[in-house]
Amino acid sequence: MSTHRIEFPGTSFAPVDLPDLASLPLHLTVHNSPLLFGCRSGLCGTCLIEFETIAGEALMAPEAAEAEALEIYAPGNPRARLACQLVLSTDLRLRKIDSA
């Protein structure tokens, strides 16, 4: 099974390697990441992050409901995602951001 690396720049958290297509809230906890999760269903915005792909690959596009939520929480930010809705498909650097 292939894995993807997630890095948390600007924090003391070590990178984590997760399986392809992993759901982040199932693997990331307060012990291994700076990300926080609330509803885990794309509604609350607690898990708002900014991403950068490590190898420059494209990330899977958000589903319609996530895209709608992102218009509210991070309007005009093409690098914003809800970590709870993200399906891991490439190596990423993630930074927690506050909603607008």
Write out the residues near ligand FES by the rule CB under 6 A: 37-40, 42-47, 82, 84
Smallest distance from ligand FES to CB 56, Å: 26
Smaller CB separation from ligand FES, 55 or 87: 87
Cβ proximity of 7 and 34 under 8 Å: no
Cβ proximity of 38 and 51 under 8 Å: no
Smallest distance from ligand FES to CB 75, Å: 16
Smallest distance from ligand FES to CB 38, Å: 4
Q: Is the Cα dihedral 11, 66, 40, 74 positive or negative?
A: positive
Smaller CB separation from ligand FES, 21 or 39: 39
CA torsion angle 85 61 1 14 (round to 10): -60
Smaller CB separation from ligand FES, 27 or 40: 40
Q: Which two structure tokens, joined as six digits, stand for 7?
A: 């890095």
